[in-house]
Structure 1
Amino acid sequence: MEKHITLPLTEALAKTLRAGDTVYLTGTIYTSRDAGHKRMCEALARGEALPFDPTDATIYYVGPTPAKPGAVIGSAGPTTSGRMDAYAPTMMSAGARGMIGKGARLPEVVEAMKKYHGVYFGAIGGAGALLAKCIKKAELIAYEDLGAEALRRLYVEEMPLVVIIDCEGRNLYEEGRKAYLDSKKG
């Protein structure tokens, strides 16, 4: 099913999404990769606040390239999500609900998604220049020393994504593989 979603990704909104849905996301998202996630989780462990309110937030696993003159951002393709698997349950326990990346997730992340009603969106790897066209504003908010891995607040319009894993744990990668194999039994 095709859905146009305006963020934030509330629990009620997350519950309407199903693995396999095509989604066009509009609103504020945050960027972070493993180095930024590590710092955020360390801050949470110390009882410190994060550089943004994680409640119902969506985090895009991306390290964008520098913007060309006149551009909002450079190429902004997804990073392999498995690099954030060690941190994703902690981020969800702090309130973050949406994750955008590419690739499979560990069972512990899927269990945390079910517990906290999280959603994992897949972005197309190799399409960073096209995805960057959906980004209308970009602002550095923390960890500037991390360069491309610094935390940014982005405003996106109609960012094309697919729900890979929904908040009930349905996984498009597993369901798609099973449907394909079942079709070959024939």
Structure 2
Amino acid sequence: MAEYKLTTPLTDEDVEKLKAGDIVYLSGVMYTARDAAHKRIVDLILNGEEPPFDLKGAVIYYVGPTPPKPGEPIGSAGPTTSYRMDPYAPILIEHGLKGMIGKGKRNQAVKESCKKHKAVYFGATGGAAALIAKAIKKAEIIAYPELGPEAVRRIEVEDFPVVVINDVYGNDLYEEGRKLWEQK
């Protein structure tokens, strides 16, 4: 396992060097979106319309943050369970998405899309929402404000800590970790 510091937007070269289990500190711009926003974004794409942000090289963080305290850019911002985005992720990956951040397993279609189109799924630590929020330096709603916490936000991050769960080679940290545990 290696450690990397990467800046968004991510490139093919960035994600090709990552392997399941690697620790990555992301800096730059990311976007927040959960299932309701994902459905709307995919509907736009399927209707030949532009999504609310450029997907090329983008990273989406699956989060519905709490309201910020005065003077803070965002409230508590822990990852949400990723499988709810599985029906939409392959289309977004096909259109340039390079990274997704959440918690929990992904389905085979998402893993295959990551391999085919060179994207990665990162895990963020559940239960560390307040700590994760400290890596978010700026946040603004850019689409679907009526969704409240699930609105799409453009966030600026500095050394946002994640672990590679699914890489471009088809590796899955959850499966590999279980195999190692069963061998012991």
Asked if these proteins are the same fold (TM beyond 0.5), I'd say yes
Which residue of the partner structure matches residue 170 of structure 1?
A: 171
- Quote the Cα distance in structure 2 between the aligned partners of 1:125 and 1:109: 21
Unpaired runs of 5+ residues, structure 2, are: none
- Quote the Cα distance in structure 2 between the aligned partners of 1:179 and 1:36: 37
Unpaired runs of 5+ residues, structure 1, are: none
- Quote the Cα distance in structure 2 between the aligned partners of 1:138 and 1:2: 26
Which residue of the partner structure matches residue 44 of structure 2?
A: 43
Which residue of the partner structure matches residue 96 of structure 1?
A: 97
- Quote the Cα distance in structure 1 between the aligned partners of 2:24 and 2:104: 17
The one-letter code sitting in structure 2 at the alignment partner of 1:130 is L
Shifted more, 153-162 versus 2-11: the winner is 2-11
Q: What is the CA-CA distance between 1:85 and the residue it aligns to?
A: 0.2
- Quote the Cα distance in structure 2 between the aligned partners of 1:120 and 1:103: 10
Identity of aligned residues (%): 58
Which residue of the partner structure matches residue 134 of structure 2?
A: 133
- Quote the Cα distance in structure 1 between the aligned partners of 2:174 and 2:42: 28
- Quote the Cα distance in structure 2 between the aligned partners of 1:94 and 1:6: 20
| 1:103 partner SS | coil
TM-score, scaled to structure 2 = 0.98
Q: What is the CA-CA distance between 1:173 and the residue it aligns to?
A: 0.4
- Quote the Cα distance in structure 2 between the aligned partners of 1:175 and 1:161: 17
Q: What is the CA-CA distance between 1:103 and the residue it aligns to?
A: 0.1
Q: What is the CA-CA distance between 1:8 and the residue it aligns to?
A: 1.2
Is 1:20 the counterpart of 2:21 in the alignment?
yes
Task: Name segments (4+ residues, structure 1) moved above 6 Å.
Answer: none
Which residue of the partner structure matches residue 60 of structure 2?
A: 59
The one-letter code sitting in structure 1 at the alignment partner of 2:129 is G
Q: What is the CA-CA distance between 1:2 and the residue it aligns to?
A: 1.2
